[in-house]
């Protein structure tokens, strides 16, 4: 897992200070997806439209979303961590998307307080990010 994080950071550092393009970011996140799909045992048809706002309320889908964010190392103490997310946004996202994404993160962090299970917290926090700002939502 640490190797994946380092790979993502190195990929970001190899780019200019403007970060990755949306397509490069999506391709980089595919690395994480390839680890989480078999680990969770979720089918592609259940997760393929998350980026378009289709969030199936299925335990495997919820835990897949959590796996993505855990592998991105933005989950601490079974919660999405705003500071860690903002660091990843700064490292990976295109410069023009960063302010909007960070605003969405700030808006959606409290959603986690409504849930007791980590997969629910992360899933509904992620769903909030999509609902808050669909054009700037990126998910593998």
Q: What CATH number is given to the structural domain containing 92?
A: 1.10.238.20
| pLDDT for res 96 | 92
Tell me, yes or no, whether 82 lies in a domain. yes
Tell me, yes or no, whether 140 lies in a domain. no
- Into how many domains does the chain fold? 1
The mean pLDDT value of the chain amounts to 88
pLDDT tens-digit map of 21-68: 878 888 888 889 999 999 999 999 999 999 999 999 999 999 999 999
- List 76's β-bridge partners, or say none: 79
Domain span at residue 40? 2-134
pLDDT tens-digit map of 82-100: 999 999 999 989 999 999 9
| pLDDT for res 13 | 47
pTM of the model: 0.84
Average pLDDT, integer, range 95-112: 96
């Amino acid at each position: 897992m640490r190797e994946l994080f380092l790979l993502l950071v190195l990929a970001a550092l190899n780019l200019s200070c403007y970060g990755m393009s949306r397509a490069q970011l999506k391709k980089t996140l595919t690395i994480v997806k390839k680890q989480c799909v078999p680990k969770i045992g979720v089918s592609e048809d259940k997760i393929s439209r998350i980026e378009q706002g289709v969030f199936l309320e299925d335990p495997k889908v919820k835990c897949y979303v959590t796996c993505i964010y855990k592998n991105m190392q933005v989950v601490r103490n079974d919660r999405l961590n705003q500071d860690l997310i903002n660091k990843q946004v700064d490292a990976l996202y295109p410069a023009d998307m960063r302010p909007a994404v960070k605003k969405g993160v700030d808006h959606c962090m409290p959603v986690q307080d409504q849930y007791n299970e980590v997969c629910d917290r992360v899933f509904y926090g992620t769903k909030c990010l999509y609902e808050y700002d669909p054009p700037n939502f990126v998910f593998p």
